[in-house]
A = this chain, B = another copy of it.
């Protein structure tokens, strides 16, 4: 299938390019960016920041405007657009009959737009049928969640199924790549912690509740730390039904059934959950890239003196929490027949 990438010169756009370079189903055939970049060769328009060589085929492509009229040759688009423009542009693409697999926040909480993590709520894709961007249903939008909501919802899902999540108190330690490029100034973060990330905390509760189709209370503190990739989450959780002991909690993970395992999607990790036994694990530097950056890492699982349990969860924020998650969404949609 021929895919376009909107916001192709940004940090998320670059991650899409990197992750798609050898994809068995999807081939990059169009790149869209702002007016400043359009008309230029991609290698000139983008300040490539990935640690692989820019694929030569992509380097030579001419960047287009993010105008659906210039993307008539693609089957669908991935959007790594900034939220300041994503609302309008993604809507225009959907209305023009071009499906949009988006990483932007703009449509996430829309009632008819799937907020999708395939292992958690694959049934959400049915919502597409309610979208009215086009009369024939050819244009629609599917979103993936915020890079904290992804690991949080994944960490909670088996526990929620077993015990029902009641309350979560969360502190995050988020990597600099989450802010894009140039993003965080080095003077702000080298040897430092910044105890606030603008706009981050208010997304976490609503998105996680939509992902789990559940009501629960969440109090979140989002901080930035000097790590490259991999958001760490420290969570203390109260359930509606208290687990008897740690064994029951572990069983919830080991008994969990991956609803998409039979589909053999290329970006699906062979093991969705990695439960670390070593107290000092998981760590962003050691584990964020494992299983192609698509695995959820859990550690320090323990019964808590307050509430019921505490744990650390970690996932690669720009792969599992952004571009890789969007690609997995597209794979599911393709397998389910939504992408033709």
Contacts and interface: CB of A to CB of B under 8 A. Distances in A.
Given A173-B223, A173-B225, A228-B190, A234 B182 contact: no
Interface string A281-318: 11111110110000000011000111100101000000
Contacts of A282: 195
A183 interface: yes
A110 interface: no
A51 interface: yes
B228 A225 contact: no
A185 B183 contact: yes
A51 B305 contact: no
> Which among A183, A189, A193, A287 has the greatest number of chain B C-beta atoms within 10 A?
A193
A264 interface: no
Interface stretch (A58-66, A214-222, A244-252, A321-329): A214-222
Interface of A: 11, 49-53, 167-169, 171, 173, 176-177, 181-196, 198, 205, 217-219, 221, 223, 225-228, 232, 234, 236, 279-287, 289-290, 299-300, 304-307, 310, 312
Contacts of A196: 279-280, 300
B191 A227 contact: yes
A200 to B, nearest CB: 11
Contact of A283 (B192, B198, B218): B192
Contacts of A194: 280, 283
A266 B183 CA distance: 39
21 contacts: A51-B285, A53-B290, A168-B306, A169-B236, A176-B187, A177-B187, A182-B182, A182-B185, A183-B186, A183-B187, A184-B186, A186-B190, A186-B226, A191-B228, A193-B227, A195-B281, A195-B283, A196-B280, A205-B305, A225-B225, A226-B226
A310 B187 contact: no
Contact of A193 (B50, B185, B221, B283): B283
Contacts of A228: 187, 190-191, 285
B195 A299 contact: yes
Contact of A312 (B11, B195, B286, B307): B195
Contacts of A11: 187
B171 A285 contact: no
A227 B192 contact: yes
